[in-house]
């Protein structure tokens, strides 16, 4: 209930007004059978009007029984007016509840999106993006539908039962009890149904998340599927999961149909009991014909909200499951700063002192890493796969926080610096760059929105991609497609490098991002970077010796530890990982030269 109240925050007045509108509409609907009863018993018939003074005064204001008996159209006009007035309040109810539910759904989406943006990196690594999308779309829509349709219907059901019972009690107590004899059974049946539908919907909803994840992965990796000719396999795998989702949805549909059929039987039985009992009492003079018609109308309207309770509970069950799935995201702890988070001027001097790190307890990734970097130095990090190269960069970006040791930037402990601040001062080009389905210019300007055309050209020239872009038909206005699919791997990489270089940052990181470009282009880019070396501290992660050999300092990692630190000339003289990599790559180059010769 607390979560439900939190969701309505900012829209509670609209919901209150919507419930009041449905209350008025329900009250008016209770007056319609009363008009029919008075018309049959007292206007057409000769029974005295036994209603309260307000009703008697209203009849007299219309001209009294004698006038109305000769002008029955006046009674018909009264019914038309009541129905029209009820329609106005029903319209207000629909408008207010729709506005409130749309506002609430928008608020949830904004809250989810903002929260997801601020969740730690480790959360995004572990979660399936398809399931996350399903929670942010389908589950939010389920919550919206409940608040748009059923939230106010709860108030309507309460008002309907309350008004109907009061009106029936005022006419005949015995018939009132007969009219509600099956209501407790429907209530109990509805609550049992609620528990079952919640469980069934949760399973179906989770399977929809699996289906969405599979679809998202296949659309993202469609080139891999095509390249390996795995279309049939992927289709069969999708059909299997889709069939499972269909079966679960069908089970839910069968459960709903069972409830509706059973509740229809109970409601029909209730109406039949009232009709048979009413006819018996009318024949024996204990009930007037007008009362019989009124009771039959009231029972139909009383049974409707009781029957509607099943739909309300059904949608509430679905909403509860969706709310839990959405809440699981919102309950995830956002990234927090230790203290206020400093925002110092970053110059680019770093020191690592006995830094150790592990993703999972007992499984160390980095052990006692210690080295220093001067401002403007180019530091290369090389080592076998799994040696901890990217993990070291993750710590520098504060995607993860180290527990042991110390990392200092310009003499300030990294943990004391604001995450957002340090990330805004570090430019990084990843091994797998991400480009948006926009123009090349828009993708580059994402790092600096106010960048001029000259700045863009300067950045692309440094990344050795300006001439390539100019060769395109639309130049910098070329749309690159989703994730840059219309560009080659090397072109995507160079556009990503240009995007990073356009904003002058004191620290640059190339996380194995030069491996996708050819050796000549690699040399050009590194030459351009050397021109900025005095003002920018650069980290280059690579498996290619030719990329790192000109670095001021090369850090060789092996099994999470520093095996050696030095320049290229020094390291090739020592036995170890670096020398082996150099020998292997050097021998391959010699073989290629011999083949070409």
CATH of the domain at 30: 1.20.1560.10
The pTM (predicted TM-score) of the whole model is 0.73
> CB atoms < 10 A from the CB of 289, how many?
15
The reply to whether 526 falls in a domain is: no
User: Do residues 477 and 390 share a domain?
Assistant: no
For residues 527 and 464, give the distance between their C-alpha atoms in angstroms, rounded to a whole number. 11
Show pLDDT as tens, one digit a residue, over the chain (597 residues). 677 777 777 788 888 898 889 888 888 887 877 777 777 777 777 776 666 666 667 767 776 667 777 777 877 888 888 889 989 998 998 899 888 888 888 888 988 999 998 888 888 888 877 788 888 888 888 888 888 888 777 777 778 778 878 878 878 888 888 887 877 777 777 777 767 777 787 788 778 878 887 887 777 777 677 776 778 888 888 888 888 888 888 888 888 787 777 777 877 888 888 888 888 888 887 888 877 888 877 787 777 677 677 677 777 777 888 888 888 888 888 887 665 678 888 888 999 999 998 887 767 888 889 999 998 888 989 888 888 888 888 888 888 888 888 999 998 988 888 888 888 888 888 777 788 888 888 888 888 888 888 888 888 888 888 888 888 888 888 888 776 677 777 788 888 888 888 888 888 888 876 666 667 777 777 777 777 667 788 888 888 788 888 888 999 998 888 988 988 888 888 888 888 888 887 776 555 555 544
Domain final residue pick, 303, 330, 357? 330
Residue 454 CA from chain centroid, whole number: 39
The reply to whether 129 falls in a domain is: yes
Residue 78 CA from chain centroid, whole number: 50
Backbone φ/ψ region at 401: left (φ over 0), alpha (ψ -120 to 50), beta: beta
pLDDT value, residue 409: 92
Domain final residue pick, 457, 481, 504? 504
Domain final residue pick, 504, 525, 553? 504
Question: Could you tell me if 564 and 578 are in contact, meaning their C-beta atoms sit under 8 angstroms apart?
Answer: yes
Would you list the DSSP string of 263-305?
Answer: HHHHHHHHHHHHHHHHHHHHHTTSS-HHHHHHHHHHHHHHHHH
CA nearest 325: which of 192, 133, 147, 145? 133
Q: Which residues does 22 contact at the CB level (< 8 Å), separation at least 6?
A: 89, 90, 93, 152, 153, 155, 156, 159
**Residue 295 belongs to what domain range?**
2-330
Q: Which residues does 150 contact at the CB level (< 8 Å), separation at least 6?
A: 311, 312, 315, 316, 319
User: Do residues 348 and 258 share a domain?
Assistant: no
The reply to whether 313 falls in a domain is: yes
Number of domains in the chain: 3
pLDDT digits (tens, 9 = 90+) for 444-492: 888 888 888 888 888 888 888 888 888 888 888 888 877 667 777 778 8
For residues 277 and 289, give the distance between their C-alpha atoms in angstroms, rounded to a whole number. 13
User: Do residues 397 and 485 share a domain?
Assistant: no
Query: Could you tell me whether strands 553-558 and 561-566 are parallel, antiparallel, or unpaired per DSSP bridges?
Result: antiparallel
User: Do residues 308 and 455 share a domain?
Assistant: no
């Amino acid at each position: 209930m607390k979560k439900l109240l939190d969701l309505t925050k900012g829209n509670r007045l609209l919901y209150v007004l919507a419930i009041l509108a449905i209350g008025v509409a329900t009250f008016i609907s209770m007056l319609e059978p009363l008009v029919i009863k008075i018309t049959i018993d007292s206007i057409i018939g000769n029974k005295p009007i036994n209603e309260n003074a307000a009703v008697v005064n209203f009849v007299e204001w219309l001209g009294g029984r004698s006038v109305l008996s000769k002008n029955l159209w006046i009674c018909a006009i009264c019914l038309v007016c009541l129905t029209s007035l009820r329609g106005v309040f029903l319209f207000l109810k629909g408008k207010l509840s729709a506005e409130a539910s749309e506002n609430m759904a928008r608020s949830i989406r904004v809250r989810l999106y903002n929260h997801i943006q601020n969740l730690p990196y480790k959360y995004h690594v572990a979660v399936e993006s398809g399931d996350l999308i399903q929670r942010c779309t389908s589950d939010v829509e389920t919550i919206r539908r409940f608040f748009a349709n059923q939230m106010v219907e709860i108030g309507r059901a309460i008002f309907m039962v309350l008004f109907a019972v009061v009106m029936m009690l005022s006419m005949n107590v015995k018939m009132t009890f007969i009219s509600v004899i099956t209501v407790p059974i429907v209530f109990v049946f509805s609550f049992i149904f609620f528990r079952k539908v919640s469980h069934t919907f949760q399973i179906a909803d989770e399977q929809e998340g699996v289906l969405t994840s599979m679809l998202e992965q296949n659309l993202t990796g469609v080139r891999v599927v095509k390249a390996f000719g795995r279309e049939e396999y992927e289709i069969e795998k999708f059909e299997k999961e889709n069939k499972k989702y269909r079966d679960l949805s069908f089970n839910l549909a069968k459960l709903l149909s069972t409830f509706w059929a059973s509740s229809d039987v109970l409601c029909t039985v209730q109406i039949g009991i009232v009709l048979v009992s009413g006819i018996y009492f009318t024949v024996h003079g204990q009930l007037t014909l007008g009362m019989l018609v009124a009771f039959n109308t009231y029972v139909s309207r009383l049974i409707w909200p009781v029957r509607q309770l099943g739909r309300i509970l059904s949608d509430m069950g679905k909403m509860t499951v969706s709310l839990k799935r959405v809440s699981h995201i919102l309950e995830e702890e956002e990234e927090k700063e230790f203290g206020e988070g400093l925002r110092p001027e970053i110059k680019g001097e770093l020191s690592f002192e006995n830094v150790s790190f592990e993703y999972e307890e007992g499984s160390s990734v980095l052990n006692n890493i210690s080295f220093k970097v001067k401002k403007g130095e180019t530091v290369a990090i090389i080592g076998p796969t799994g040696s901890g190269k990217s993990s070291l960069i993750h710590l520098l970006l504060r995607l993860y926080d180290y527990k042991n040791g110390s990392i200092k930037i310009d003499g300030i402990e990294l943990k004391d610096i604001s995450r957002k601040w340090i990330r805004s001062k570090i430019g990084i080009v990843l091994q797998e760059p991400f480009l948006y389905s926009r123009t090349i210019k828009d993708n580059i300007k994402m790092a600096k929105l106010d960048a001029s055309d000259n700045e863009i050209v300067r950045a692309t020239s440094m990344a050795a991609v300006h001439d390539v872009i100019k060769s395109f038909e639309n130049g910098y206005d070329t749309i690159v497609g989703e994730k840059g699919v219309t560009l080659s791997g090397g072109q995507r990489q160079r556009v990503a490098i240009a995007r990073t270089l356009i904003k002058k940052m004191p620290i640059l990181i190339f996380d194995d991002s030069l491996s996708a470009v050819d050796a000549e282009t690699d040399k050009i880019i590194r030459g351009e970077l050397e021109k900025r070396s005095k003002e920018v501290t650069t980290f280059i992660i690579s498996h290619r010796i030719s990329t790192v050999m000109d670095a001021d300092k090369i850090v060789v990692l092996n099994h999470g530890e520093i095996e050696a630190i030095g320049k290229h000339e020094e390291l090739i003289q020592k036995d170890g990982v670096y020398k082996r990599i150099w020998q292997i790559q050097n021998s391959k180059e010699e073989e290629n030269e011999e083949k070409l010769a």
